[in-house]
């Protein structure tokens, strides 16, 4: 069995009496692509932000590459990366400059080679003279994903990576992400509201609702368990289910 890259145990985040994430536990193994699904406010983004050490958990543990995130923040973050539509690259830099900055921030020594590779791979080479702020939202999204690969991450957190892309571009980007992550034997935690996308990429799906995990299984097993062929129907069913009393 492949190694566990991420282990989350009883992760809880409370804000002034409101429980955003409630005792969440899961694991992600090497090579696995796991989707984190849930309605708005389910706790997906808070979970991802805790995994990135942007938010401190109220309780619980996060172990990445068998080390506790709390005591090894910089070391672990240097082997991870992420992208999200709410976190853009600096609008006043060109794509090449933006990627170069992040290559430095992630300690990439052969940065020129890496930046050129990413610009070519994500179809951004033609846009090198444009400022990031002048790019379309789809181009900015591709750049965000390119940035997420700047350090060959072993663990990638993708928060709606294809949110503003048209279907063909989204499919192409998904294929690139899968190719690059498989080449590096990494793992991905992927959030999306596009159920077809989730089904196409996921080895496993974790459903979150009101901060709690309602289901954690392969797409096939989930369909069997809920007697539904459509993931969207499962999503709606789970979102309506009552959460356990502990919350």
Partner 1 sequence: MNLLHVLGIFYRNIILIRRSVPKLFALFGFITVELLLWGFITLWVQTLAPAGAASDFILLILSAFIFWSMFDLGQRSFAISFLEEVWSRNIINLFASPVKLSELVLGYILVGVTQALLAFFYIVPLAFLLYALNIWDLGLYIIPFFMNVLIFGWVLGVVSIGLVVRFGPSADILAFFIPFVLLPFSAVYYPISIFPPFLQKLTFVLPTRHMFEGMRTAITEGIVPFDSLVWASTLNLICVLLGFLFLYWMLRLARIKGYLSRLVQD
Q: Does 53 bind partner 1 (CB under 8 A)?
A: yes
Q: Considering the rule CB under 8 A, would residue 106 count as an interface residue with partner 1?
A: yes
Instruction: Return the residue of 17, 40, 92, 240 that touches partner 1, per CB under 8 A.
Output: 92
Nearer to partner 1, 80 or 205 (CB): 80
Whether the CA torsion 211, 216, 218, 224 is positive or negative: it is negative
Of 94-102, 162-170, 171-179, 201-209, the window that binds partner 1 (rule: CB under 8 A) is 94-102
3-state secondary structure of 190: strand
Report how far apart, in Å, the C-alpha atoms of 127 and of each of 83, 100, 142, 149 are: 20, 15, 12, 18
Q: Is 104 in the site for partner 1 (CB under 8 A)?
A: yes
Environment class of 121 (CB within 10 Å of its CB; exposed 0-12, middle 13-18, buried 19+): middle
91 binds partner 1 (CB under 8 A): yes
Compute the least distance from the CB of residue 13 to partner 1, in Å.
8
d(CA 9, CA 58): 12
Residues that bind partner 1 (CB under 8 A): 15, 45-46, 49, 52-56, 73-75, 77-78, 82, 84, 86-93, 97, 100-109, 133, 147
């Amino acid at each position: 069995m492949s190694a566990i890259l991420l282990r989350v145990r009883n992760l809880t985040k409370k804000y002034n009496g409101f429980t955003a994430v409630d005792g969440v536990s899961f694991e992600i193994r090497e090579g696995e692509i796991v989707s984190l699904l849930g309605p708005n406010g389910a706790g997906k983004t808070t979970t991802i932000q805790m995994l990135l050490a942007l938010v401190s958990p109220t309780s619980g543990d996060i172990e990445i590459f068998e080390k506790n995130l709390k005591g090894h923040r910089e070391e672990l973050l240097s082997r991870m990366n992420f992208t999200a539509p709410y976190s853009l690259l600096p609008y006043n830099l060109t794509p090449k400059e933006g990627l170069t900055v992040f290559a430095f921030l992630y300690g990439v020594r052969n940065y020129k080679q890496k930046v050129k590779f990413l610009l070519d791979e994500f179809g951004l080479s033609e846009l090198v003279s444009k400022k990031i702020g002048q790019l379309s939202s789809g181009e900015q999204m591709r750049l965000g994903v390119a940035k997420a690969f700047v350090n060959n991450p072993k663990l990638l957190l993708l928060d709606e990576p294809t949110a503003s892309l048209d279907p063909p571009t989204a499919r192409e980007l998904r294929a690139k992400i899968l190719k690059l992550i498989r080449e590096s034997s990494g793992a991905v935690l992927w959030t999306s509201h596009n159920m077809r996308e989730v089904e196409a990429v996921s080895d496993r799906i974790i459903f979150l609702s009101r901060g709690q995990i309602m289901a954690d299984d392969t797409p096939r097993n989930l369909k069997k368990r809920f007697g539904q062929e459509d993931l969207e129907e499962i999503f709606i069913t789970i979102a309506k289910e009552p959460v356990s009393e502990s919350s």
